[in-house]
Amino acid sequence: MNSVSTDFQFFVECDSSPFILFRNTGKILYLNSVAEILLGYVNQQELYDIAISYAPKDFGYKTTRLELQYDTFSFYAITVAYENEEQIGLKLYHRPRLDLENYQEMDKLPLTDINILLEANIALFKLHNGNNMELLADQDLPPCRIDQNQFSKLMRKTLHSFRASDSIRISLTLMVGEYVLIRNKPERIIQFMITANGRYTDNDKEIKSIAEHTNTTCLLKEHTVRLQVPFVQ
Amino acid sequence: MDNQFFTRSQKVQNIIKGFNLTRSLFVSSILTGNAYTGKKSLIRYLFPTITFADGRDQKNIEQLLENQNELVIFNFEKLSNVENLDFSNKRIIAISNYISNERTIDSLFAFIYHMPSLRERPEDVVALTEHFNREIKSKLMIEGDFTIDLEALDISAETHSLRRSLYREAFIYSCSDQDIKSILHRYLYEHMEGDSDYKTYLPLYEKPLIEAGLEKFGSQLKLSEMLGINRNTLRKKIHELGIN
């Protein structure tokens, strides 16, 4: 076999699994784009410590099943590899985000302008509440397949949990570098996020239940709710 | 079918905005509120081509839901077993005079709107009064404008009582001497039973006469002069008739 010089960095860059290459001091030499996002939620030292703790005893690589949760990132395994004393690489494997069984029906769902759903829900919320609102939405989002009724309910319930908040920030964006595998096809993810100075949690159980039935990942925090939906076209 | 809808209320405008935003979506919405607040007129105005079905006919509703992907259900509160209805991927608009089970409504509908009563939208009372007046003038063939006693407007049963009170005002305005005589004639004919009827029915003329006179002339002295009766007689009549 002829040896061919190839730059693999591009392929690592496209990978939806975070990859970080550390120097032996803990300093980062390289990280792909999804790892860059991950570092918004976890300290790099913590990841370096994990790499050291789960490194193979000798040069080479070792994959370990390990449950890790950072904000909405949920990993089920890591691979740590090194071939010299200077550098050590860590790759984290996403937990399958959703139950694939649920996707069977997605093709039957109507193509939806999710911005319209959001706008209608904001209009409904404003009928009863006078809270200040700031909206950041990507108006160019193309239509996607979504259960309009259930997702509207989910938005209504979520917004309702912020009914007493002074100032509400809402964003609707296509996530960068994050994918979900649906029938072996990576699909992008839309994130609907609401942040305020506080919120009621009385509807959380119901929000989680509706989210489960709409292929939506939800993250409920004290000041923030994130709903992440597969962007299936 | 008359597909007009009148509103100057911001609250109702916001409901219209909500419905307009979701008109292309397959979502379920419900509009609740007192009877005669204009819910059905509003939905008919916004969705003139969608089939309307009465919630009192359960079988028909179930059949329509199987065959159609958009439907307006009025008298929704009359439907039973609503939790078993399948609204998924359909455009359903329900109209209900009240919510019998809040949890069920909450789980069935993505969008829940409440139509404010006329008390909460005085601007609409003005708009509707103008609209009904045009209708009344045309139907009763009244020429020229007539003054409405705003205090006589009744919104206790929303547009239903408002319209009725306006018809009554219009009728009172347009009554001729002959109409009044005919009304009294008919009333007395039906009610006289021959037991001190003169004493019983005389207040029918005397009370409005004295009340109107007092309102117009301001004092008992002036009124007694205008009526050509003794001041003491007038005072006695006022007492007998219980006029304040």
Q: Find the CATH number of the domain harbouring B38.
A: 3.40.50.300
Give the pair of three-digit tokens for residue A166. Answer: 């002074």
Residue B93 within a domain:
yes
Cα maximum dimension of chain A: 71
Cα–Cα distances (Å) from A203 to A171, A195, A207, B30, in that order, read 20, 16, 6, 21
Q: Mean pLDDT across the stretch A95-115?
A: 71
Q: Which of B11, B20, B22, B106 to mutate to test the interface with A (most CBs of A within 10 A)?
A: B22
Q: Which of B89, B92, B93, B114 to mutate to test the interface with A (most CBs of A within 10 A)?
A: B89
pLDDT band at A3 (very low <50, low <70, confident <90, very high): low
Q: Where in chain A is the domain with CATH 3.30.565.10?
A: 100-231
Residue B228 within a domain:
yes
Give A27-81 pLDDT, tens digit per residue: 999 998 888 888 988 999 999 999 999 999 999 999 998 889 887 788 888 999 9
- Round the average pLDDT of chain B to a whole number and report it: 90
Q: Mean pLDDT across the stretch B116-141?
A: 90
Task: Give the C-alpha separation, B235 to B229, whole Å.
Answer: 10
Interface A-B, measured as beta-carbon pairs within 8 A, has a size of 60
Q: Yes or no: is domain A9-94 CATH 3.30.450.20? A: yes
Is A163 in contact with A198 (CB distance < 8 Å)?
Answer: no
Same domain, B24 and B93: yes
pLDDT on residue A97: 59
Q: Nearest residue on chain A to B112, judged by CA atoms? A: A124
pLDDT of residue A175 exceeding 90, the answer is no
Residues of chain B with pLDDT > 70, as a percent, come to: 99
pLDDT on residue B58: 93
β-pair type (A132-137, A167-182): parallel
Phi-psi region of B218 (alpha: psi -120 to 50; beta: other; left: phi over 0): left
pLDDT on residue A54: 94
CB contact under 8 A, B89 and A119: no
Distance from CA of B3 to the nearest CA of A (A): 24
Same domain, B29 and B92: yes
Residue B165 within a domain:
yes
Same domain, B227 and B197: yes
Q: Any chain A CB within 8 A of the CB of B87?
A: yes
pLDDT on residue B100: 82
Give the nearest partner residue to A112 out of B18, B25, B28, using CB atoms: B25
Q: Nearest residue on chain A to B90, judged by CA atoms? A: A149
Same domain, B128 and B103: no
Give the pair of three-digit tokens for residue B89. Answer: 């991927």
Residue owning tokens 């609409």: B124
Same domain, B44 and B69: yes
Q: Mean pLDDT across the stretch A209-233?
A: 87
CB contact under 8 A, A120 and B24: no
Same domain, B111 and B83: yes
Apex B129 CA angle, B126 and B133, nearest 5: 145
Give B88-106 pLDDT, tens digit per residue: 889 999 999 998 888 889 8
B19 contact partners, CB below 8 Å, separation of at least 6:
B29, B43, B46, B47, B93, B113
Least confident of A100-114, A121-135, B114-128: A100-114
Same domain, B30 and B72: yes
Residue B156 within a domain:
yes
Residues of chain B with pLDDT > 90, as a percent, come to: 64
Same domain, B48 and B34: yes
Task: Give the C-alpha separation, A145 to A230, whole Å.
Answer: 9
Task: Give the C-alpha separation, B199 to B84, whole Å.
Answer: 65
Q: Which of A113, A121, A126, A148 to mutate to test the interface with B (most CBs of B within 10 A)?
A: A148
A166 contact partners, CB below 8 Å, separation of at least 6:
A131, A132, A196, A197
- Structural domain of residue B225, as residue ranges? 192-241
User: End-to-end alpha-carbon separation of chain A, Å?
Assistant: 42
Q: Mean pLDDT across the stretch B205-224?
A: 93
Task: Give the C-alpha separation, A203 to B106, whole Å.
Answer: 12
- Residue of higher predicted confidence among A175 and A3: A175
pLDDT on residue B1: 47
Task: Give the C-alpha separation, B115 to B39, whole Å.
Answer: 7
Give B196-211 pLDDT, tens digit per residue: 889 899 999 999 999 9
CB contact under 8 A, B18 and A124: yes
Q: Mean pLDDT across the stretch A205-228?
A: 88
Tell me which of B69, B87, B116 is where a domain ends.
Answer: B116
pLDDT on residue B172: 86
Q: Where in chain A is the domain with CATH 3.30.450.20?
A: 9-94
Residues of chain A with pLDDT > 90, as a percent, come to: 37
A192 contact partners, CB below 8 Å, separation of at least 6:
A118, A155, A158, A170, A171, A172, A226, A227, A228, A229
Element (H, E) at B233: helix B231-241
- Residue of higher predicted confidence among A7 and B37: B37
Q: Mean pLDDT across the stretch B114-121?
A: 94
Q: Any chain B CB within 8 A of the CB of A127?
A: yes
pLDDT on residue B45: 94
Cα–Cα distances (Å) from A214 to A22, A44, A228, B28, in that order, read 39, 34, 10, 16
ipTM: 0.70
Residue B223 within a domain:
yes
Name the β-bridge partners of A92: A78
Reported pTM: 0.73
Task: Give the C-alpha separation, B94 to B42, whole Å.
Answer: 12
Task: Give the C-alpha separation, A58 to A43, whole Å.
Answer: 26
Same domain, B80 and B137: no
CB contact under 8 A, B87 and A149: yes
Task: Give the C-alpha separation, A194 to A225, whole Å.
Answer: 5
Give the pair of three-digit tokens for residue B17. Answer: 């905005």
Element (H, E) at A53: helix A44-53
Quick one: chain B helix, strand, coil %, rounded to 5? 55, 10, 35
Q: Nearest residue on chain B to A210, judged by CA atoms? A: B107
Sheet holding A60-70, edge to edge: A28-31, A19-23, A87-94, A73-82, A60-70
Distance from CA of A150 to the nearest CA of B (A): 7
pLDDT band at A104 (very low <50, low <70, confident <90, very high): low
Q: Name the architecture of domain A100-231.
A: 2-Layer Sandwich (3.30)
Q: Nearest residue on chain B to A117, judged by CA atoms? A: B22
Distance from CA of A118 to the nearest CA of B (A): 10
- The count of domains in chain B is 3
